[in-house]
Amino acid sequence: MSPEKKKPAKKPRPPRQKMPEQAPEERAKNFLEVPYGYTPEIAETEASRCLQCRKPACVQGCPVAVDIPGFIRRVAEGDYLGAARVIKSTNSLPAVCGRVCPQEEQCEQLCVLARKGESVAVGRLERFAADYEREHGDGSVPEKAPPSGKRVAVVGSGPAGLTCAGDLVKLGHEVTVFEALHKAGGVLVYGIPEFRLPKAIVQAEVDYLKSLGVKVELNRPIGRSETIDELLEGDFDAVFVGTGAGLPYFLGIDGENLNGVYSANEYLTRSNLMKAYLFPEYETPIIKARRVAVIGGGNVAMDAARTALRLGAEKVSVVYRRSREEMPARNEEIHHAEEEGIDFQLLTNPTRILGDGNGWVQGMECLRMQLGEPDDSGRRRPVPIEGSEFVMDVDVVVVAIGNGPNPLIPQTTRGLDTSKWGNINADEQSGQTSKPGVFAGGDVVTGAATVILAMGAGRRSAAAIDEYLGRPLEDGTSGAGSSQEPPADGRS
Amino acid sequence: MAKVVCRKEIAPDTVLLEVESPRIANKRKPGQFVILKKDEKGERIPLTIAKSNAVEGTISVIFQVVGAGTRGLAEVAAGGEIQDVVGPLGKPTEIRKVGTVAAIGGGIGTAVAYPIAEAMKAAGNRVIGITGARSRELLILEDEFEAVCDELIVCTDDGTCGRKGFVTEALQEVIDRGEEVHEALAIGPVPMMRAVCQVTRAAGIPTVVSLNPIMVDGTGMCGGCRVEVGGATKFACVDGPEFDGHAVNWDVLISRQAAYKSYERRGDDCNLLKAGEEQA
């Protein structure tokens, strides 16, 4: 069948558009963001690929239910600010999500185009619209509901807290976010590196929330500076706890307290939050090593490995006890790391860290593994290969095997139930805890997960808190039950 | 931003800063610390609170100038500002009536021992204070410490003030004269705390020490401040800073405290070091 016979002639669908990015050999030496982002031309071409499905599957895959076809249509039409407005009506942190959401497991996975080819690049378009709005927008803010006279304290300024705060302030409540560190953003500022998420972008998103009326109190370690009970006895009618998974796990192997062994949290905090990569201009040091081993296979491990490379290490190895297939990191992150020359020691398990006799790391003994039967997580269990011990020559080891919940709030709050791992027990939908007026969401409830899942939890809790504060939704449904619905601006 | 209302050099290279922070002044308990960050580029520096004045809304910290970070803090004049003051952090000292308490402060550790001694006294304990320094001019808070103790023994290594010798010798004398000490608190340089623990272990006196490992966030997030206590890894910021001195692995602590020694030197422009280089 020749194309001439087709009526009307259909333009072939362009391929999924790539994002221009820094060359691997170049970017491995700097902390600048890796991708440059779409140009308007590329964005419109990509947006034109969207089928504008009447029942869009992609939206089902978004934890905060962004109107994906709606914003993509506006990009295709050249109305970039309109696109940003659509996103911002349900997502307070679009520039962040466009960069760090695992779209390939969410919206993009469900895209109809993905069935026969490549999905629409929803994340890249979201990033484009958000960046365009930040650079060219007039700073206008959405309409807010009339003041409710209610006050809500949000503990923690990470993705869950910021999302919850943004939604609550739009609903007319007075919101104060308490952050223990000296900068707002939680994991977005201390954890995710500059080259993946520029800190100026996080600050801009925080400033946007402030422009909506959210108060941000830095240097307030709730639990110590004041307790949740004191917040409730004082100014606040409800509290949302989004304190994240901030307590690093170690392996419990010999040599872990040697100098040169870092938790990924410490390594990344020094580099990102304290800007140790600019030492001595910035006063916080970080050990610059020749050879670095990063233990773990998640996004945090990729971030730590790529940071080590940029700090000048000659060789950086990711040491992971399962195979590449089981690595929890996003494909894109693994791919970027590989491109930059990170060495992957897969099916390898550290058994002890060796010292030089003066308290410093000199090497790491590992065992090779093979995959056995599936374990509780459904992944094949790694089993040691006997006699396969070998020593890696390294001078810094970064442990990136996960984090537990921060203990400050559970330790200091009366009547707040936790799991045996210390996670706060909260209703999956509403985030309601065992303590009246206290809601929780994000990693402190679920254990370490993703930015967007924490945002989804913050969002659902905002709706539940709104209901708790005595403002039933117009449609008569409960706030908790209607969490998939965007909070329409201006509802009373 | 927090205003510095008073700055005093109370001994050579030893600075007292009184900082406006009404919330912390109201809330803090003995044994707790704050983190100060002078400005955008500054380090986060953990310092135990020496005094607070709830009426004036101020807290006081005392520190020694050792690296770029503390030098920066020491340069803030009265009337100046510190960008970030976080706290109170850490678990407060367990204050209870045990009988007789020996509160031992070495060097600037006296700044930490003093408020604990004060609280122990207020709880009805008999408090024997021991403060020591290398030399007379390095002794701090002598009068304040004395005022909250039933007895204060002052020691200097060179004998320029009080008893000549180490605080451990003074403590041993207290034990030898038949004093029944129910609890000891030792706060100061690591070798001093370790030495005190050797004395108290032999005498069977439970001993609390306050540890100051390298720390970044102070809220349990980074694990940089991990210490080995009783064979287990603890985070000084959230599990401490006070621990059972007889269970602390001192070797690990000493080693970890030295992790950034070479960076401290590289990062600073210390006049003393420069002078040394010029002479060499």
Tens of pLDDT, residue by residue over A87-109, are 988 888 899 999 988 888 899 99
| CB-based contact A274 B69, cutoff 8 Å | no
Same domain, B67 and B137: no
Closest residue in B to A255 (Cα–Cα): B252
Q: What is the pLDDT of residue A197?
A: 93
pLDDT of res. A7: 54
pLDDT bracket for residue A138 (50, 70, 90): confident
- pLDDT for B272 equals 41
The two beta strands, A361-374 and A348-355, are antiparallel
**A414-431 tens-digit pLDDT:** 999 999 888 999 999 999
The pLDDT score that the predictor gives to residue A10 is 67
Q: Look at residue B264 in the predicted model and tell me its pLDDT.
A: 65
Q: How would you classify the pairing of strands B207-210 and B242-244?
A: antiparallel
Q: Which residues contact A451 (CB under 8 A, 6 or more apart)?
A: A93, A96, A97, A100, A101, A159, A187, A188
CB B3 within 8 A of CB B58: no
Helix axes A122-136, A68-76, angle to 10 degrees: 60
Give the residue, B163 or B278, on which the prediction is more confident: B163
Asked if B163 and B215 sit in the same domain, the reply is yes
Does pLDDT of A39 surpass 70?
yes
Say which residue, A360 or B279, is predicted with more confidence. A360
- Report pLDDT digits (tens) over A333-366: 999 999 999 999 999 999 999 999 999 999 999 9
A263:B224 CB<8 A: yes
Alpha-helical (H) ranges within chain B are 22-27, 68-74, 110-122, 142-147, 167-176, 190-203, 236-239, 250-257, 261-267, 271-279
Contact status of A71 with chain B (Cβ, < 8 Å): no
Does the beta-carbon distance from B220 to A263 stay under 8 Å? no
If asked whether residues B197 and B73 sit together in one domain, one would say no
Whether the bond between B241 and the residue before it is cis, its omega within 30 degrees of 0, is: yes
Spell out the SS3 assignment of A106-169: CHHHHCCHHHHCCCCCHHHHHHHHHHHHHHHCCCCCCCCCCCCCCEEEEECCCHHHHHHHHHHH
| Interchain contact, B233 vs A257, CB within 8 Å | yes
Q: Are residues B58 and B34 in the same domain?
A: yes
Q: Do B42 and A270 touch (CB under 8 A)?
A: no
- ipTM of this predicted structure: 0.89
**Mean pLDDT value across chain A:** 90
- Give the pLDDT of residue A377: 79
Burial of residue A436 (CB within 10 Å: 0-12, 13-18, 19+) is exposed
Cβ distance A284 to B255 less than 8 Å, yes or no, reads no
* Residue B266: inside a domain: no
What are the C-alpha distances in Å from A411 to residues A228, A265, A432, B214?
11, 21, 18, 24
Question: pLDDT at position A378, please?
Answer: 82
CB contact under 8 A, B222 and A257: no
Residue B120 lies in a domain: yes
Give the list of residues 6+ apart from residue B146 with CB closer than 8 angstroms, or none.
Answer: B129, B152
Closest CB from A221, A257, A274 relative to B256 = A257
Rg of chain A (C-alpha set): 24
Please check whether residue A173 is in contact with residue A466, taking contact to mean a CB–CB distance below 8 angstroms.
Answer: yes
Residue B29 structure tokens: 């308990």
Tokens of B234: 């603890």
B275 part of a folded domain: no
Contacts with A256 from chain B: Cβ below 8 Å: 233
Which domain does B117 fall in, by range?
100-257
Number of folded domains in chain B? 2
Higher pLDDT, A1 or A404: A404
Using the beta-carbon criterion (under 8 Å), do B219 and A359 form an inter-chain contact?
Answer: no
Q: How confident is the model at residue A471 (pLDDT cuts 50, 70, 90)?
A: low
pLDDT band for position A474 (50/70/90)? very low
Predicted confidence (pLDDT) at residue A163 exceeds the cutoff of 60: yes
- B87–A225: do the CB atoms touch at under 8 Å? yes
Mean pLDDT of B161-188: 92
Is residue B276 one of the residues assigned to a domain? no
Tell me, yes or no, whether B199 and B158 share the same domain.
Answer: yes
pLDDT band at B253 (very low <50, low <70, confident <90, very high): very high
Phi, psi angles (nearest 5°) of residue A146: -60, 155
**pLDDT above 90 coverage of chain B, percent:** 75
Identify whether residues B161 and B190 lie together within a single domain. yes
Long-range contacts of A69-73 (CB under 8 A, 24+ apart): A71/A125, A71/A126, A71/A129, A72/A47, A72/A120, A72/A122, A72/A125, A73/A47
In this prediction, residue A8 carries a pLDDT of: 58
Query: Among residues A161, A165, A140, A137, which one has the least CA distance to residue A151?
Result: A165
pLDDT bucket at A473, cuts 50 / 70 / 90: very low
Same domain, B114 and B170: yes
Angle at A61 between CA A202 and CA A134, to 5 degrees: 25
Nearest chain A CA: its distance from B29 CA (Å) = 11
- CA–CA separation, A234 and B88 (whole Å): 19
Find chain A residues with C-beta within 8 A of B266's C-beta: 280
- B64 and B116 inside one domain: no
For residues B50 and B186, membership in a common domain is answered with no
User: The domain spanning residue B253 has which CATH number?
Assistant: 3.40.50.80
For chains A and B, CB pairs below 8 A equal 122
Q: Which two tokens stand for residue A137?
A: 């927008």
Q: Cβ–Cβ contacts within 10 Å for residue A5, how many?
A: 7
- Does residue A305 contact residue A298 with C-beta atoms inside 8 Å? no
Tell me, yes or no, whether B44 and B10 share the same domain. Answer: yes
Q: Evaluate whether A403 touches A248 at the Cβ level (below 8 Å).
A: yes
B89 to chain A, closest Cα gap in Å: 6
Q: What is the CATH number of the domain that holds B27?
A: 2.40.30.10
Please check whether residue B269 lies inside any domain of the structure. Answer: no
- With H, G, I as helix, E, B as strand and everything else as coil, classify residue B123: coil
Q: Which residues in chain A are closer than 8 Å to B89, comparing Cβ atoms? A: 221, 224
pLDDT-derived band at A224 (thresholds 50, 70, 90) equals very high
Q: Tell whether B8 is covered by a domain.
A: yes
* Of A227-241, A472-486, B229-243, minimum mean pLDDT range: A472-486
Nearest residue in chain A measured CA to CA from B38: A283
Report the pLDDT averaged over residues B230-241: 92
Task: Please indicate, yes or no, if residue B273 is contained in any of the structural domains.
Answer: no
What is the rounded average pLDDT for all residues in chain B? 90
Place of tokens 């206590």: B229
Contact predicate A104/A58, CB 8 Å: no
Tokens of A354: 């060796």
**How distant, in Å, are the alpha carbons of A20, A45, A484 from that of A42?**
10, 5, 31
Q: Is the pLDDT of residue A481 over 80?
A: no
Distance (Å) from the alpha carbon of B58 to chain A's nearest alpha carbon: 15
Residue A353, SS3 per DSSP: strand
Portion 334-393 of A in contact with B at CB < 8 A = 358-359
Minimum Cα–Cα distance from A275: chain B residue:
B41
* Domain match, B248 and B142 both: yes
Select the more confidently predicted residue: A489 or A205.
Answer: A205
Band (A376; pLDDT cuts 50, 70, 90):
confident
Do B109 and B140 reside in the same domain of the chain?
yes
Q: What is the mean pLDDT of residues B223-230?
A: 94
User: Whole-model pTM?
Assistant: 0.89
Q: Is the pLDDT of residue B222 over 60?
A: yes
In a domain, B272, yes or no: no
Could you report the per-residue pLDDT of B87-142, keeping only the tens digit for each? 999 999 999 999 999 999 999 899 999 999 999 999 999 999 999 999 999 998 88
Residue of B nearest to A409 (CA): B219
Closest Cα in chain A to B255: A359
Angle made by CA atoms A231, B234, A180, in degrees to the nearest 5: 30
Interface of A with B in 434-473 (CB under 8 A): none
Contacts of range B142-146, beta carbons closer than 8 Å, 24 or more positions apart: B144/B51, B144/B114, B145/B105, B145/B110, B145/B113, B145/B114, B145/B117
Residue A292 CA to chain centroid, in angstroms? 24
Window 213-252 of A, Cβ < 8 Å to B: 218-221, 224-226, 246-248, 250
- B259–A250 CB contact, under 8 Å: no
Q: Which residue in chain B is spatially nearest to A268 when comparing CA positions?
A: B222
Are B224 and A358 inside 8 Å of each other by CB? no
pLDDT mean over A434-441: 95
Q: Which residues of A touch B264 (CB under 8 A)?
A: 285
Give pLDDT tens digits for A246-295.
Answer: 889 999 999 999 999 999 999 999 999 999 999 989 999 999 999 999 99
Residue among B42, B85, B226 whose CB faces A219 most closely: B85
Asked if the Cβ–Cβ distance from A248 to B69 is below 8 Å, we say no
Chain B CA closest to residue A404: B221
Distance from CA of A98 to the nearest CA of B (A): 26
Tell me what the mean pLDDT of segment A482-490 comes to. Answer: 36
